Amino acid sequence: MGQHEIDAENLPYHPEKLPKKDYVSVNDYFSLDIRAGKIINVENYPEMRKPSYKITVDFGPKIGQLSTSAQITNYSMILTTYQTNLSIQHYLERLIKH
């Protein structure tokens, strides 16, 4: 079974099968910079080791357009484009490994 195929019989990502994460404090939650943006472009990213999409998200005039990659090739590029996306904005920047 591929990395992003859904196992309908075992449902490994069913909420009851996922380990419960630690609670975060209210201060930790409110310190996150969570922004909504619109996916404006999705294209194949053949330079990556695993099948991936390069995704461009428009976060409006204050932040602008940012790009990322995602290994979600089981979703159609057409269905992914123009969807709303939530993102945490202040992660440390890092280079995408090819």
Instruction: Give pLDDT tens digits for 42-88.
Output: 898 888 888 888 889 898 998 889 888 888 777 777 767 777 777 76
Instruction: Give pLDDT tens digits for 30-50.
Output: 888 888 889 889 898 888 888
- Delimit the domains of the chain by residue range: 35-88
d(CA 67, CA 56): 4
Query: Are 89 and 35 within 8 A, CB to CB?
Result: yes
Q: What angle do CA 95, 50, 43 make, to 5 degrees?
A: 75
Residue 2 has pLDDT above 70, yes or no: no
pLDDT value for 61: 92
pLDDT value for 19: 81
Residue 8 has pLDDT above 70, yes or no: no
Residue 90 has pLDDT above 70, yes or no: no
